[in-house]
Each structure stands twice: as structure tokens, then as C-alpha cells.
Amino acid sequence: MAVLVIADHDGAHLRDTTLKVITAAQKLSGDIDVLVYGEASAVAAQAAAAAGVRKVLTAESAELKADIAEAVSALIVSLAGGYDAIALPATASGKNVAPRIAAALDVSIISDVIDVVAGDTFVHPIYAGNALETVKTADAKKVLTVRPTAFAPVAATGGSAAVEAVAVPAVTLKTRFVSDEKVVSDRPELGAAKVVVSGGRALGSADEFKAVLEPLADKLGAAVGASRAAVDAGYAPNDYQVGQTGKVVAPELYIAVGISGAIQHLAGMKDSKVIVAINKDPEAPIFQVADFGLVEDYKTAVPALLKALG
Amino acid sequence: MKVLVPVKRVLDYNVKVRVKSDQTGVDLANVKMAMNPFDEIAVEEAVRLKEKGTVTEIVAVSIGVAQCEAILRTALAMGADRGLLIETDQDLEPLAVAKVLKAVVAQENPDIVLMGKQAIDGDNNATGQMLSALLDWPQATFASKVEIAGSEALVTREVDGGLQTLGVQLPAVITTDLRLNEPRYASLPNIMKAKKKPLDTRALADYGVDAAARLTVVKVTEPAKRSAGIKVDSADALIANLKTAGVL
Ligand SMILES: Cc1cc2nc3c(=O)[nH]c(=O)nc-3n(C[C@H](O)[C@H](O)[C@H](O)COP(=O)(O)OP(=O)(O)OC[C@H]3O[C@@H](n4cnc5c(N)ncnc54)[C@H](O)[C@@H]3O)c2cc1C
Ligand SMILES: Nc1ncnc2c1ncn2[C@@H]1O[C@H](COP(=O)(O)O)[C@@H](O)[C@H]1O
């Protein structure tokens, strides 16, 4: 059995996510190849250095760089013959393309895998993580998205896999890339950060969101996250949303500021090691999952926290 | 221009989920069911496109038990023109749903299939992408803005790191994200009118699609509960606790 892992990267760096998907893949097989598509050159070497990788495949084109699903899935389907399983990270990019690959191969998709029980049996959360479903697939080829927070990363160094460019299949695209609007930040990425500071509707405006949360995030070296309400209201970019239908994070420390703790939000952060909630309502459901709760107005609590941190 | 909107009947998002003690699934007996929230957003977007004059007909389709009729009526009350219920007691996987929808597309010939990015029961986030692959149509998932310009849809998508805009040639599959719009509530007069709108019911068997399950559910369990924490009374106490916990 061999597994093809699809790398998660930004053109310069291999994300930690990839190393976590490799760990999940190792539960299926010792033969793991990693596909780096898009701007592959710098990243391929990093993938080759990851522990436990047999071979790194690279593929480059403008469409792959733009992450056009039709192009990416055509590439992966063209490689699928050599593999028993294809594992993608459960990121927006992975979720965009994985079901396409599965449908093209006429197999089911198993979304958001958090545990590999056997070669054909997987655990994944359903109902916003309120239930865990164990499913056994009858499909010979498996297509999975893997929830990175559920697996530890393999070592980033020590491997010395060969790197091999693969042919990019020609596809007539009916999709064109128009533009990108990426949020640039010097902070650690939400999915990878050791500390996450998240804000909710209580913050009341984009300016207040920044003014309150950024100094705290700076002091803690944290990534910034948000509730859906804060994103919907325009206090924070969409990419910050933590939850059932946003990003799933599991940092060492998660600080929720002015967030009530709806189940859809909890779905994205309840596996954090330590959870802190700052909320002026003692009945807020967030306190049911918080290790440490501070019942206070954030307007006094956050400055006091900054002061105490020195 | 014609839009097909697939809508799924799911547990209402406000209802607390209970796992059955025999571990066979989630308890759906006597609980409030509703249209999947992302599908409401899809219906709303289709209705807005119709109000703008871009779209002339909206067909809502639901695959599932007879009670799916209720959510189709909701779609009609929001502004869809016709409903189609494809009845089955089987719980279909995304691949099977996509195959059925492909057959519906062959009958209805829509220019756009506008659907939710994710059903909040299975949280699969898969059916739209699968349908797009089966139809060999372009896909634009996780839409936060849709503009129709001639034979192309310009779709702004919520992606890792921000937003991306794609142009997809129609016909295409578009899936909705939360920021696309805020769905309207159906007014009482519109709910009354919806009762008279056409709603066809067909059997799943009529479509001759292989909807066999590929997955066997071994068990459904409750996740580990977090043990209750403590309340602290000051920022200083909080920091002392975080130091003890080893995270500062
Ligand atoms: C289909 C669907 C998907 C969803 N997906 C997500 C998701 O992925 N992520 C997500 O987060 N949500 C999601 N939601 C939304 C979710 O149900 C909640 O509406 C949302 O999480 C609420 O955000 P909030 O906690 O910021 O706002 P609110 O619930 O309004 O809470 C604000 C909190 O701030 C507190 N507060 C107010 N003022 C102060 C103050 N001065 N100081 C301290 N505390 C204060 C209040 O006591 C309150 O508890 C989804 C909903 C649906 C239907
Ligand atoms: N049984 C169904 N009937 C109609 N539409 C469905 C059904 N199942 C899924 N869908 C559509 O597919 C979308 C994504 O669902 P999923 O892939 O299951 O997360 C939903 O938001 C619906 O638009």
C-alpha cells in the first residue's frame, strides 16, 4: 500500500500541516510520497527532508499555482494509479479539491479524519464535533482529508527523499483566475500558532478589535482568531474565523475575548490544551469549556492582563 | 437563466446533539429539523439574482424523506419557483447525492447549480465539488460574492489566507459560504403563496442511479468531554494559573 500526501505550502515554506498529514498517512503505509504542486522548487527540498518520505513529486503551472480545483484534481487523478490512498490536509484548499478527486475515481470521500483505526476504517467528527463517527470504506482507493490538529508532525528534518518532476496533464479549463486578496501578517499562522487570541462580537468594531487584541497577541507571540459574528460584522477577515465552518485550531493556549461559546465556535477550538475565556456574562457557555474563566469586561480585563504580563 | 438549488433537511443548528446510547448514530427522533443554513444562503442568492433580472427560474431540489417537503416549501416561500422532492429513506453519501443531482441536471438543464458548501450534519463539504467533477463543469466553492457577467460568473471565494476571485464559465457549480448574504425570513403571505407553487415528488428509483453506500458506520460516539475549569478573579490570578499550567 502506498499513500500520496498532498503538501500544504505557501510557495516558500512547507507548512507544518503537511508533516501532520504524513503522520496520519504512516498509519496506512510506510511508502509515502509527497506531491508539491504550484510553486514547488523551494518547497520540494523541505518535503524531501521530512522524516519518512519515500519520494517527492513536483508539478508546476500557473493554474496549479492559482490552486484551480479542476487543474489540481486532474493532476492528482493522473497520479492516482500508483497509490492506494490519497491524503490531503483538511484546509480550504484540500477540501476544495479532495471531493473532486474522489468523484473522478468513483470513490467516497472521508472528510476531516482525526484517527486511522485500520487501513479502511477512519474516525471523523460530525455535527460540529458533537459526535465522532467511525466509518469503514468498501472502496479500494481511499481519498481522505486529514484534520491536522489531530496528529503530531513527523520530524521536519532527517529525510533525504528523491525529488522528481511529474508531467502536468493538459486540461481545457473553464475557470480563470481573476485576483487574490490575501491577508498579510507577520504573526504566526492561525493553524500553526502555539497561542491564539480570538475576539468576538463584543469588540464592536474593526478598530477596537485591532486595538484590543493586537497588543495582547504581540506580547504572547500569538495568532489572532475570531468568531463568526466578528467576521460577519467586518471586525476581522474571513480567514480568522475559528469554528465548525471555519478553521480548526488546537494551540497550547486559546484566549477567547468577548465570545459566547456557541457550539459552532467550540467545534473549532475545544481541543486546545488550555482555554481562557474573558466574558462579562458568568453564564456564557464558553465557561463550560474554559480551564480558566475571567468574568469581567474585556475593556478592563485585557489592559490588566497586558500590565500583568509586563 | 435557470438555477438549481439543492437543499438538505438537517437537524436545526440550535438543537443540542445527542448521540444514541447504542452508538448507531445521532438521535433525530422528535427534534427540530430545518433547511441546512448554507442552503438557505444559496436560495437567498438565487432569489436575489432573480430580483436583479439575471435569473428567470429557480428550482429547489431535496433528496430524502417525505418530510423534506417542508424545507422545499420554505425555499418556495423565499422565492423559488418550483420544488422537486426525490424521496428515499436511505441516508445518502455525498457521492450518491452528487450522482442523483447529476441526473436532475440532465433533466432540468440549469445554468447554475447553487448549493451549500457544507451540510451541518455530516460536515462533509463535498457534494458540490463531486457534482462539478461528475458534470465536468467548473466549480467555485465557498462563495462570498457572486456576479454574473454574460456567460461567466465572477465568484469571490473564502480561501486559506483570505479571498480569491475566479471567473467560471456557465454552466457551473457554485457553493455558498456564510458571508454571501443574510437569508430573508419568508413572510406570511409568501408562505401562503408557496403552498400553491408546484412541487413534484419522485422516487429515488426513478433516477436509476447507483446510490449504494460505500461506507459502513461502525459506531458513533460522544467526544471526550473537557473537565470543568475554574473562575479566576483577576488578571494576575489568571497569569499565575497559566504559569502553573506551563503555557506561559
Ligand atoms: C451554519 C452556521 C455555521 C457557523 N459557523 C461558525 C463558526 O465556524 N465559527 C463561529 O465562531 N461561529 C459560527 N457560527 C455562529 C455561532 O452560532 C454564533 O452565532 C457565533 O459564534 C457568535 O459569535 P460571538 O460569540 O462573537 O457573539 P455573541 O454570541 O453575540 O457573544 C458575544 C459575547 O460577548 C460578551 N460580551 C459582550 N460585551 C462584553 C464586554 N464588554 N466584555 C466581555 N464580554 C462581553 C457577551 O456576554 C457574549 O457572551 C455558525 C452558525 C451557523 C448557523
Ligand atoms: N440529501 C440532499 N438533498 C439535497 N441537497 C443535498 C443533500 N445532501 C447534500 N446536499 C447539498 O450539498 C451541500 C453540501 O453537503 P455535504 O457535502 O454533505 O456537506 C449541501 O449544502 C446541499 O446543498
Model confidence band, residue A287 (pLDDT cutoffs 50, 70, 90): very high
Q: What is the 3-state secondary structure (H, E, C) of A258-297?
A: CCCCCHHHHCCCCCCCEEEEEECCCCCHHHHCCCEEEECC
CB neighbour class for B103 (10 Å; exposed up to 12, middle 13-18, buried from 19): middle
Calpha distance A33→A47 (Å, rounded): 10
Closest CA to B18 of A242, A246, A131: A131
pLDDT score for B227: 84
Q: Is the CB of residue A293 below 6 angstroms from any atom belonging to ligand 1?
A: no
pLDDT of residue A1: 81
Phi/psi of residue B147, each to 5°? -130, 130
d(CA B30, CA A199): 36
> Among B1, B4, B42, B48, which residue's Cα sits nearest to residue B150?
B1
C-alpha cell recorded at residue B198: 408546484
Three-state secondary structure call for residue B81: coil
d(CA A303, CA A300): 6
Distance from the alpha carbon of residue B76 to the mean position of ligand 2, in angstroms: 18
Query: Predicted confidence band at A168 (pLDDT cuts at 50, 70, 90)?
Result: very high
pLDDT score for A288 = 95
Over residues A37-66, the mean pLDDT reads: 97
**Predicted confidence band of residue B171 (pLDDT cuts 50, 70, 90):** very high
Average pLDDT estimate for B69-86: 98
Instruction: Confirm or reject: Cβ of B94 under 6 Å from ligand 2.
Output: yes
Q: How far apart are CA A73 and CA A37, in angstroms?
A: 11
Q: Which three cell numbers stand for residue B175?
A: 457553493
The CA distance from A136 to B63, in Å, is 24
**R_g of chain B computed on alpha carbons:** 21
B15 half-sphere exposure, CB direction, 13 A CA radius: 19
Q: Residues of B with CB below 8 A from A70's CB? A: 138-139
Binary contact (B123, A270; C-beta < 8 A): no
CB A83 within 8 A of CB B98: no
Interchain proximity A238–B177, CB inside 8 Å: yes
In the beta sheet, which residues pair with residue B231?
Answer: A293
CA-nearest residue, atom 23 of ligand 1: A229
| C-beta of B124 in contact with ligand 2 (< 6 A) | yes
pLDDT, tens digit (0-9, with 9 covering 90-100), for A261-279:
999 999 999 999 999 999 9
Mean pLDDT rounded to a whole number for chain B: 97
Percent of the residues in chain B that have a pLDDT greater than 70, as a whole number: 100
Question: Ligand 2 pocket, B10 CB below 6 A?
Answer: no
Query: Is residue A2 pLDDT above 90, yes or no?
Result: yes
Strand partners, A165: A58
**CB of A231 closer than 6 angstroms to any ligand 1 atom:** no
CB within 8 A of A225, min separation 6: which ones? A190, A196, A197, A198, A199, A236, A240, A241, A242, A247, A249, A269
How far apart CA B82 and CA B61 sit, in angstroms, is 9
Å between B44 CA and nearest CA of chain A? 17
pLDDT of residue A123: 98
Q: Which of B61, B97, B124, B131 to mutate to test the pocket of ligand 2 (most atoms within 8 A of CB)?
A: B97
Q: What is the mean pLDDT of residues A15-35?
A: 97
- Cell numbers 439543492 label which residue? B6
- The region that residue A271 occupies, defined by phi over 0 for left and psi between -120 and 50 for alpha, beta otherwise, is alpha
Residue A184 pLDDT class (50, 70, 90 cuts):
confident
Q: What φ, ψ does residue B133 adopt, rounded to 5°?
A: -65, -45
Please list every residue in chain A whose beta carbon sits closer than 8 Å to the beta carbon of residue B226.
Answer: 270, 275, 288-289, 291
Spell out the alpha helix ranges (H) of B16-159. Answer: 37-51, 68-78, 94-108, 127-135
Q: How many residues does chain A have?
A: 310
Tens digit of pLDDT for each residue in B80-126?
A: 999 999 999 999 999 999 999 999 999 999 999 999 999 999 999 99
Residue A56 — pLDDT band, cuts 50, 70, 90? Answer: very high
Q: pTM of the prediction?
A: 0.98
Residue by residue, what is the 3-state secondary structure of chain A?
CEEEEECCECCCCECHHHHHHHHHHHCCCCEEEEEEECCCHHHHHHHHHCCCCCEEEEECCHHHHCCCHHHHHHHHHHHHHHCCEEEEECCHHHHHHHHHHHHHCCCCEEEEECEEEECCEEEEEEHHHCEEEEEEECCCCEEEEECHHHCCCCCCCCCCCEEEECCCCCCCCCEEEEEEEECCCCCCCCCCCCEEEEECHHHCCHHHHHHHHHHHHHHHCCEEEECHHHHHCCCCCHHHEECCCCECCCCCEEEEECCCCCHHHHCCCCCCCEEEEEECCCCCHHHHCCCEEEECCHHHHHHHHHHHHC
**Predicted confidence band of residue B20 (pLDDT cuts 50, 70, 90):** very high
Index of the ligand 2 atom closest to the CA of residue B125: 19
Q: Do A174 and B137 touch (CB under 8 A)?
A: yes
Evaluate if residue B28 carries a pLDDT over 90.
Answer: yes
Instruction: Assign B141 a pLDDT band (cuts: 50, 70, 90).
Output: very high
B228 pLDDT tier (thresholds 50, 70, 90): confident
User: 3-state DSSP call for residue B23?
Assistant: coil
Contact A147, A90 (CB under 8 A): yes
Mean pLDDT across the stretch A142-165?
98
